Chains A and B, each alone.
Chain A
Amino acid sequence: MIKVRAKMLGGAMAAAVVLALAACGSGTSTAGSTTEDGAQASAMASASGNITFWSSVANMKPVVDAFNQSHPNIKVNYEVTPSAAPGYAKLSTALQAGNAPDVATIEYYRLPGYASNGDLQPISDYIGQADLGKFSGQVRGLVSLGGKSWALPYDAPPMVFYYRKDLLADAGVSTAPATWQEFEADARKLKSVHPDAYLASFYPDDPSTFAGLAWQAGAKWFSTEGDSWNVNLGDAATQKVAGFWQKLIDDKLVKVEQSFSDQWSQDLQKSTMAGVVGASWSATGIVSRTKGQEGKWAVAELPNWGTPADSMLGGSTFAITKTSKNPAAAAAFIQWMTTSPDAIKARGNVGSAWLAYPGLSDIAKANFSTAPFGGQDIFSVFQKASSTVSDGWNWGPKITATYTPLADGFGRLATGGTISEAINSAQTATVSDLKNSGLSVKG
């Protein structure tokens, strides 16, 4: 996350950089193709030529090599890109400059932004409903907007709760909290025996975890109504989650700290962090930070509000950009990557990824060592969690307009700010930003 390149930004220099990146951005746009769903499926079967693929997903090189070997007519050039915000900055500037890759890796929460910006070609032009229908309705909903599918889902990570069995046992807690009420009670018990310990972290820099918790509680931040977007960050479900976490923060039951910071790693190592509210993929990160704690960790479904429910945190999709000159080959590559067992086998160690296409996670499972979790079958926990993910959540047309003010608001938690205030200011900022960009907004 080191933004070295940005070092020279400043004053007139910033103007220069802005220019350099936008210089070639004169409008290249694709005429809205009006083909029927999957109408060009045959084009995909006979596709050939060169395409480029950008991804920040780990270990994709062998996958690309395997594709190139089994598909002699198509040659995929693979480039590693930075993850998170710097990666999207690179993709967006490339799209503007007209030198974007054919296939881009875009997480669910960013997909509507690119789709509504006219940056993508709908993948449903190539892949028909029969194939799309094999993905669960819930992930399909996340890649569909305006009646078209814009990407194929790769992984679909459900939120789960990781915890230290030994530390909770010290507090007399033998099973993972099933509800948030139990979670709070367990956190208090933990505090009474280990005054320095916390049961989870609240990440002020990364609102996606909070968004996931709101989603689980039934919130619907974004929806469409006719030709307008609805923005509703302050709905009752979100307020409930906000109030609950505010209480946990105020009573020092959870620790406010930056995600993936040195401090967080230290807290894990020093056993002052007894739990992680994360997703399936978090297992890899926890294992690498907790040497010597093998067998002490366990995974459980996320505590709920009374009835089983879950949400997704992160997760990648692959999409065809508007600048791709070979969308048929791109679609063929994407379909193979997301649905073929060979693609997962080629990748080798996939970490603790929960893959979207049915059956593929079994291959990932076979490659993941569960020793840090005392041999617990963590993939079956993921499967159960995944089956309860609530339908009907949508991401907005410009998530950064929400996340920047939300993170800034969370940053004021240490100086007397509240989660609720952060949400209110993010609501106002999002609505005015979207309206300023010309979109029609209610909210």
Chain B
Amino acid sequence: MRRTARTSARRESGGRAAALFLAPFMVLFALTMIAPIMYALVLSLLAEKKSGLGFAPAATVFAGLGNYAAVLGSQTFLDGLARLGAYCLMYIPVMIGLALVLALLMDTAVARARKVFQLVLFLPHAVPGIIAAIVWVYLYTPSVSPIVEVLSNGGIAVDFLDAHLVLPAIVNVSVWEWTGYNVVILFTALQAVPRETIEAATVDGAGGLRTALSIKVPLVSSAIGVIALFTIIGTLQLFTEPTMMHTATSSVTSTYVPNMWAYDAAFNQHNLNQAAAASLILAVLAAALSFIVTRWTSRSQKP
């Protein structure tokens, strides 16, 4: 009796300690995440209504799901979503594939070269996204870019900023920025692969390629899943690169991707209600995609 009482008391005090440690996080989380999302939810259900010529202050009215309908009914928003889909189809396989290949190569490289590769590959990620975008815009702009000039001297006339190439050009910037970061994550996971397993494979006669494909890749699949999750959430937030490209080419419109649509709605059209609705639609989409990815990776890991 005494014993159980004591354990439950200890458990209680443990709970109190946990609450104490968690409180700062929970307070900040509630203030900076939950409250804004709730407010955005409220905003997205309201609308500003003027009348006649205007001049009188607008009245705030309840709009129900009207803003959501307006966002989902907007051709430019849907075009942006489709563009984002095309971007994902190009970006995710290329980036994750490249990161995996580089991580596997690094795992086999001699120990000294590893550190150098790790640094070199990670370096682009250390450049702030906005700076990277400015540099790449410069490298893409015809008559300014040394790359375009060299190519055209070699007889290849290419305009990276034209309407057909600009999306792959944006994919390229993202790949450049993010591959090194993901290589580091995958490489760390590869380090954790038990050496005995690899030795056993070698003893059984598996070559380097076979070991990589049949032993290492399956063993780091959970890390690949995590990367896929972060990447998908990241791609939904695509904003910086196309916004910078927009200053250099008309192929990137002011509503090129959904986030730019929301930015335009909030800060150019001053329609915070529709911007809130668009942002929440994106948030729901991100949540749904994360759910699918986590379900898919956890299922594929079951023996």
Contacts and interface: CB of A to CB of B under 8 A. Distances in A.
A130 interface: no
Interface string B22-41: 00000000001101110111
B92 interface: no
Contact of A438 (B51, B162, B244, B275): B51
A57 interface: no
Interface in A383-435: 397-398, 400-401, 404-405, 407-408, 410-415, 433
B250 A15 contact: no
A167 to B, nearest CB: 17
B275 to A, nearest CB: 5
Given A9-B263, A15-B283, A27-B57, A22 B244 contact: no
Interface of B: 32-33, 35-37, 39-41, 43, 48-58, 60, 70, 76, 129-130, 134, 138, 141-144, 162-164, 233, 236-240, 243-244, 246-255, 259, 262-264, 266-270, 272, 275-276, 278-280, 282-283, 286
Contact of A12 (B52, B244, B263, B283): B283
B48 to A, nearest CB: 7
Contacts of A228: 52-53
Of B53, B58, B244, B259, the most chain A CB neighbours within 10 A belong to B53
Contacts of A415: 163-164, 251
A12 B279 contact: yes
B46 to A, nearest CB: 11
B269 A414 contact: no
A401 B37 CA distance: 27
A204 B76 CA distance: 17
Nearest to B76: A408
Contact of A439 (B52, B259, B270, B279): B52
Given A12-B286, A146-B53, A267-B143, 12 more contacts: A7-B130, A13-B237, A18-B36, A19-B40, A86-B267, A88-B268, A89-B268, A205-B246, A205-B247, A400-B270, A411-B252, A414-B163
B34 to A, nearest CB: 10
A16 B37 contact: yes
B37 A15 contact: yes
Closest 9 CB pairs of A and B: A10-B237, A116-B54, A15-B40, A204-B250, A14-B279, A89-B267, A16-B36, A438-B49, A411-B250
Given A7-B129, A15-B36, A263 B53 contact: no
A258 B58 contact: no
Q: Which bucket holds chain A's interface residue count?
A: 35 or more
A270 interface: yes
Contact of B247 (A17, A116, A258, A270): A258
B162 A414 contact: yes
B140 to A, nearest CB: 10
Interface string A1-26: 11110110111111111111111010
A388 B138 CA distance: 41
B183 to A, nearest CB: 23
13 contacts: A2-B244, A9-B262, A12-B286, A13-B237, A14-B278, A15-B276, A19-B36, A116-B53, A205-B250, A263-B144, A400-B270, A408-B255, A439-B52
Contact of B249 (A17, A32, A89, A258): A258
Contact of A22 (B56, B143, B272): B272
Contact of A14 (B55, B240, B259): B259
A433 B264 CA distance: 14
Of A4, A258, A433, the most chain B CB neighbours within 10 A belong to A258
B240 A12 contact: no
A408 B49 contact: no
Interface of A: 1-4, 6-7, 9-23, 25, 27, 29, 32, 85-86, 88-89, 92-93, 96, 115-118, 145-146, 204-205, 224, 227-229, 256, 258, 261-263, 266-267, 270, 397-398, 400-401, 404-405, 407-408, 410-415, 433, 436-440
Nearest to B40: A15
Nearest to B137: A262
Contacts of A397: 53-54
A116 B48 CA distance: 13
A413 B251 CA distance: 9
A356 to B, nearest CB: 24
Contacts of A405: 76
A19 B35 contact: yes
A262 B58 CA distance: 41
B51 A440 contact: yes
Nearest to A270: B143
Contacts of A267: 143
A29 B173 CA distance: 46
Contact of B141 (A9, A88, A118, A263): A263
Contacts of B130: 2, 4, 7
A415 B266 CA distance: 28
Contacts of B238: 10
Of B51, B164, B240, B267, the most chain A CB neighbours within 10 A belong to B267
B268 A85 contact: yes
Given A12-B283, A16-B33, A414-B251, A401 B53 contact: no
A145 B238 CA distance: 41
Contact of B279 (A18, A32, A438): A18
Contacts of B270: 92, 96, 400
Given A89-B268, A262-B141, A267-B143, A404 B282 contact: no
A118 B56 contact: yes
B272 A117 contact: no
B53 A7 contact: no
Contacts of A262: 138, 141, 144, 248
Contacts of B264: 404
B245 to A, nearest CB: 10
Given A22-B43, A400-B268, A437 B36 contact: no
Contacts of B55: 115-116, 118, 145-146
